[in-house]
Structure 1
Amino acid sequence: MSVRTDTPRWIASILSWPGLLPLSRIALVSAFLIGGVQKLADFPAAIAEQAHFGLEPAWLWAAAAVLIELGGSMLVIFGRFVWLGAGGLGVLTAVAMLAANDFWTKSGHDRFMVLNAFFEHLGLIAGLVLVSVLSLRKQGASMQ
């Protein structure tokens, strides 16, 4: 019996390509990888960034950001403890989203820009949730 789908065959072929999921995982965490490397390369600037957003002690927040951005990204990319890596990145993103995108204090064009960034971060968190769901489903399929 064949399964009916609304996805065109050529799209299904692209989505079935074995390399798509690993490349998508890398793309999903790419901003975290770049951010973690930049923070590590210029740790004083990373501390200043955390202090700018009122996160104290700034050195601890900067160290946690580097660890979570690099470590969490590696877990997501390599598909090991994805829930932990994506969860850490999601929490870090939520903290950043609330600290840096305070649209409720803005007006006019500034409010528009910050509100947009807020929801972009929310979308990124949703992507991290989805990669965790996919990982769990893959594990469930291999455990049966």
Structure 2
Amino acid sequence: MNSFVTSLTAKPLFGYIARILLTYMFWASGIAKIVDFPAAVGEMTHFGLNPPAAFAIATIVVQLAGSALIILDRYTWLGAGALGVFTALTIPVAHSFWTMDDPFRTIEFHVVMEHLTVIGGLMVVAWKSAR
């Protein structure tokens, strides 16, 4: 079994698929924001970010460029860093569970834990990427 796993994970295709899946939540969100830009602006307005259109554009750029850098394994550390910082910043802006009452406090707490896990995954990909 060990040789099978070693053989599988050594293939370049495995790395591409892993990086595509790791970044899915970012590039899918960026594409969705392009497809429905008014909704992206509405999302930024909802979270009190001004000017909302500028924040929507910045979000799209970070999500798509960061994902592309990771997927292509070029300046992976930069893409992972950008997406990691972006993800960390979403916590106080969009997931401030400490200000909520239950059951929303518990739900948002778990979302924050997932965000921290994604940040850890981004740190691993930056650590293990081609230099």
SS in 2 for 1:121: helix
Letter of the structure 2 residue corresponding to residue 48 of structure 1: G
Structure 2: give runs of 5+ residues left out of the alignment: none
| Greater length-normalized contact order (CA 8 Å, ≥ 6 residues apart) | 2
Q: Could you tell me which residue of structure 1 aligns to residue 41 of structure 2? A: 47
RMSD, aligned CA: 1.6
Q: 2:113 aligns with which of 109, 116, 119?
A: 119
Q: Distance in 1 between matches of 2:34 and 2:90?
A: 18
Q: Could you tell me which residue of structure 2 aligns to residue 3 of structure 1? A: none
Deviations 1:90-138 (A, max 9, x none): 1111111221111101232211110000010111111111111111xx3
Q: Once the 2 structures are TM-superposed, how far is the Cα of residue 38 of structure 1 from its aligned partner?
A: 0.7
Using the aligned pairs only, state the percent identity: 38
Q: Distance in 2 between matches of 1:78 and 1:18?
A: 11
Residue 20 (str. 1) matches residue 21 (str. 2): no
Aligned residues: 131
Q: Distance in 2 between matches of 1:90 and 1:60?
A: 20
Q: Which has the larger radius of gyration?
A: 1
TM normalised by structure 1 equals: 0.83
Q: Once the 2 structures are TM-superposed, how far is the Cα of residue 14 of structure 1 from its aligned partner?
A: 3.4
Q: Once the 2 structures are TM-superposed, how far is the Cα of residue 51 of structure 1 from its aligned partner?
A: 1.3
Residue 29 (str. 1) matches residue 23 (str. 2): yes
Q: Once the 2 structures are TM-superposed, how far is the Cα of residue 10 of structure 1 from its aligned partner?
A: 3.8
Deviations 1:13-62 (A, max 9, x none): 43334322111000011111110011011111101101111222211110
* 1:1-144 → structure 2 map (5 Å cutoff): 8-135=2-129, 138-139=130-131
Q: Distance in 1 between matches of 2:61 and 2:116?
A: 21
TM normalised by structure 2 equals: 0.91
